[in-house]
Chains A and B, each alone.
Chain A
């Protein structure tokens, strides 16, 4: 069963989520090929060729692929699928945007957010904000899957697959890229960070998130937020961890002033170690926290910053 993985990249570099998606693809079938559609994205294609288990990289280089518009990428992928039995992409905003478009054109019912591959046609995925875990079997001839990348381990970068250049497809031109406004930060990305410190409604203002940023900088952590903090306008939506935001599974997740709504827990409960700091000892977040501290965050967070200085340089 030949499997195609749609790579996620920013034209210069490949995202780690691509490797993790290859890991899922290897459980679905073989050979695994990776499609890098981009503009001057040879660097990303070369990185994809190094992922262990990838047998071939298909590289389509054209300005229309610079921002991976769904209309354009779907037009490229659909005819390719004549040669493959399955298509996988990370369940990122890019994968979620493109894959259902491809699935519909193939008359396939997509399986979203695959957490586990049980068999080449059977998968485990979350529903109801992660409160009901479904095992589903696909009855379609082909599979289209988005992958919850936190559930898979990235393979080694020890491969050396050949790179085959593909001719671009005709650009549907019904959509055009106008601009983007990407958050610039020296901190790691939320979905790739080993440590995350998140704030909730208890932070009271966007200004107060600076306290979390200072702790984050000591731990090389990313800063996240609950939906309540986003809804209150404290921080942008791309900070949001939860069912409607990003799903993360870092080594350490520090929840500050977050009560622990179901929708937030759905996005972080697979973290290895969870810390909760909240002044309300009844907050549901404490039930899932490995270490709970009942305290006023405006006292505890500065103390945490000072304490981290004391214990010295973090890894």
Chain B
């Protein structure tokens, strides 16, 4: 079984983003970039399937600027076999990403595509579901556990209020949630080895996909600031304030 794992280059999750003064977006100059954390979980899950003998090849795909090669290298260092970079700067919207991934899936014919449930920059949570729609494949979003079953995959999903298990016919789409696994760190020898693994360089035109935007960002602002910082000295004072000042209990 071949597995396709799309990975996105995003602002590192530890970075506190700054809004550009003109309100046109977030300032990305000299900011640390990393693989989207949910995509790391996707790469890890694919590698675990390969280590169990369930998968034969893992192809990591990124759609973004030239530097997204580094993100693919990270996936290769973790254990993916080869990469595809579709160069596109800035990275397109989820719908265009899904259209590109559909073309790649048609060429590569994977049985499973594992994606992160959302990217921590645009927070859209759409690409996996859109790709499933365009391929007419079933989808197991927000995965907590995967289990193979002849010709199908059992996916236990994180839903509001608990867990739900679905059986999906293969080929299928999986999107990862936090608790699916804990991604490994790449070892130094594997980082060195990854430098020799091949990455195919492509453009959206190679796939005949129009990546123009369907949305126009009018402005980007900081969230409303909250006035906080008052301290109380004791639990008794806290309860008194909540009851008599805030009136919330």
Beyond A97-B142, A252-B248, whether A295 also contacts B158 by CB under 8 A is: no
Per-residue CB contact flags for chain B residues 69-104 toward chain A (1 = under 8 Å, else 0) read 000000000000000000000000111001000000
**A-chain residues with CB within 8 Å of residue B163 when the two chains form the complex:** 180-182
Contact of B160 among A94, A128, A219 (CB under 8 A): A94
Closest to A72 in B: B138
**A-chain residues with CB within 8 Å of residue B26 when the two chains form the complex:** 127-128, 132
Contact of A138 among B133, B179, B215, B239 (CB under 8 A): B215
**B-chain residues with CB within 8 Å of residue A96 when the two chains form the complex:** 125, 129, 141
Q: Are A175 and B138 in contact (CB under 8 A)?
A: yes
Docked pose: A182 CA to B161 CA in angstroms: 6
B231 within 8 A of A: yes
Closest to A274 in B: B228
Beyond A137-B218, A292-B229, whether A131 also contacts B223 by CB under 8 A is: yes
Q: Are A176 and B166 in contact (CB under 8 A)?
A: yes
Task: Count chain B CB atoms within 10 A of each CB in A94, A292, A307 and give the residue with the most.
Answer: A307
Q: Are B137 and A174 in contact (CB under 8 A)?
A: yes
Q: How far is the CB of A282 from chain B (nearest CB, A)?
A: 12
Per-residue CB contact flags for chain B residues 224-243 toward chain A (1 = under 8 Å, else 0) read 00101111101110110111
Q: How far is the CB of B216 from chain A (nearest CB, A)?
A: 5
Beyond A94-B159, A101-B133, A237-B178, whether A252 also contacts B249 by CB under 8 A is: yes
Q: How far is the CB of A125 from chain B (nearest CB, A)?
A: 8
Docked pose: A133 CA to B26 CA in angstroms: 10
Task: Count chain B CB atoms within 10 A of each CB in A71, A128, A274, A291 and give the residue with the most.
Answer: A128
Q: Are A295 and B129 in contact (CB under 8 A)?
A: no
Beyond A181-B163, A291-B230, whether A307 also contacts B236 by CB under 8 A is: yes
Q: Are B162 and A135 in contact (CB under 8 A)?
A: no
Q: How far is the CB of A20 from chain B (nearest CB, A)?
A: 14
Docked pose: A110 CA to B191 CA in angstroms: 37
B177 within 8 A of A: yes
Docked pose: A140 CA to B96 CA in angstroms: 13
Query: CB within 8 Å of A: which of B160-189?
Result: 160-169, 172, 177-179
Docked pose: A211 CA to B226 CA in angstroms: 29
Q: Are B178 and A230 in contact (CB under 8 A)?
A: yes
Per-residue CB contact flags for chain B residues 123-161 toward chain A (1 = under 8 Å, else 0) read 111111111111011111110100000000010011111
A48 within 8 A of B: no
Among listed B1-9, B11-19, B44-52, B194-202, interface-contacting one: B11-19
Range of interface residues on A (Cβ < 8 Å)? 35 or more
B246 within 8 A of A: yes
A170 within 8 A of B: no
Q: Are A128 and B95 in contact (CB under 8 A)?
A: no
Q: Are B215 and A109 in contact (CB under 8 A)?
A: yes
**A-chain residues with CB within 8 Å of residue B17 when the two chains form the complex:** 128, 131-132
Q: How far is the CB of B83 from chain A (nearest CB, A)?
A: 25
Per-residue CB contact flags for chain A residues 59-103 toward chain B (1 = under 8 Å, else 0) read 000000001011100100000000000000000111011111111
**B-chain residues with CB within 8 Å of residue A300 when the two chains form the complex:** 235
Q: How far is the CB of B118 from chain A (nearest CB, A)?
A: 8
Q: Are B231 and A128 in contact (CB under 8 A)?
A: no
Q: Are B133 and A304 in contact (CB under 8 A)?
A: no
Q: Are B178 and A103 in contact (CB under 8 A)?
A: no
Which positions in A face B, CB cutoff 8 Å?
67, 69-71, 74, 92-94, 96-105, 107-113, 122, 126-140, 172, 174-183, 189, 191, 195, 219, 227, 230-231, 236-238, 240, 243-244, 246, 251-252, 262-263, 269, 272-275, 286-295, 300, 303-304, 307-308, 310-311, 314-315
